[in-house]
Structures are given as C-alpha cells and as structure tokens.
Amino acid sequence: MPPIRNPDTSGTRLRRAAQDGGRDALAGGSAVHHGAHALIALRFGSPPRRMAVWALPGVAIPLLVVLGADVLAPWLVALLAAEAIAHLLYAKTALSRRQAAGTA
C-alpha cells in the first residue's frame, strides 16, 4: 500500500477550517439569538416597527459577514461586525430614552 501524501504539512488547512468554523458559529449564533428574541417580542405583542430597529440588523449583518467573509477583506468583516455592535447599542439607548419619555 502506498503511503498517504499530505501536501499540507504546516496545518494551514486545518487552521483555516477552525477559523471559518469559529466565525460561522459566532455569527450564526448571533443571528439566531436576535431572530429568536424578535419572535419572542412579536409573540408578546411588541410592535413590529419598534422591534425591527434591532432585529433586522441583528440578523442581517451577521449573515452578511458569513456570506461575504470569503470575498471581503478581513478588515471589512471586522468593520461590519463593529457596525452591528454599534447599531445594537444605539438601538438599546434609543429605546431606553423613549421609554423614559413615555413614548415607547
């Protein structure tokens, strides 16, 4: 039986698979988390317009990161992730201000 040849002796393929898997798991988990909370909010009567402020970017941006990660530059993937976090923090602040003013 001939020996099995592995041209990738440095383990770069394994490292790349681990990085892709980690990215996909984190982004997918974030999208599922926000999607589940959106469904829960709708179930308990939250208006879709108020919920969409955080739910749409919370689901869409992580999915865009996963789908575009192979074609986008790494700095752009990081920028998209940072934008998602900034948007969600802004939505949380805006919602708490509206609740304090009694308009939410």
Is position 9 within any domain?
Answer: no
Residue 30 maps to a domain: yes
Digit-by-digit pLDDT tens for the chain (104 residues) are: 566 665 555 666 666 666 677 778 888 888 898 899 999 999 999 888 888 888 888 888 888 888 877 787 778 777 877 877 787 788 778 778 888 887 75
Residues 6+ apart with CB under 8 A from 1: none
Q: Determine, yes or no, domain membership for 6.
A: no
3-class state of residue 7 by DSSP: coil
For residue 24, how many C-alpha atoms fall within 13 Å in the half-sphere facing its CB? 8
Q: In terms of residue numbers, what domain contains 29? A: 17-101
d(CA 63, CA 3): 42
Q: pTM for the complete prediction?
A: 0.61
Tell me how far apart the alpha carbons of residues 26 and 21 are, in angstroms, rounded to a whole number: 9
Number of domains comprising the chain: 1
**Does 5 map to a domain?**
no
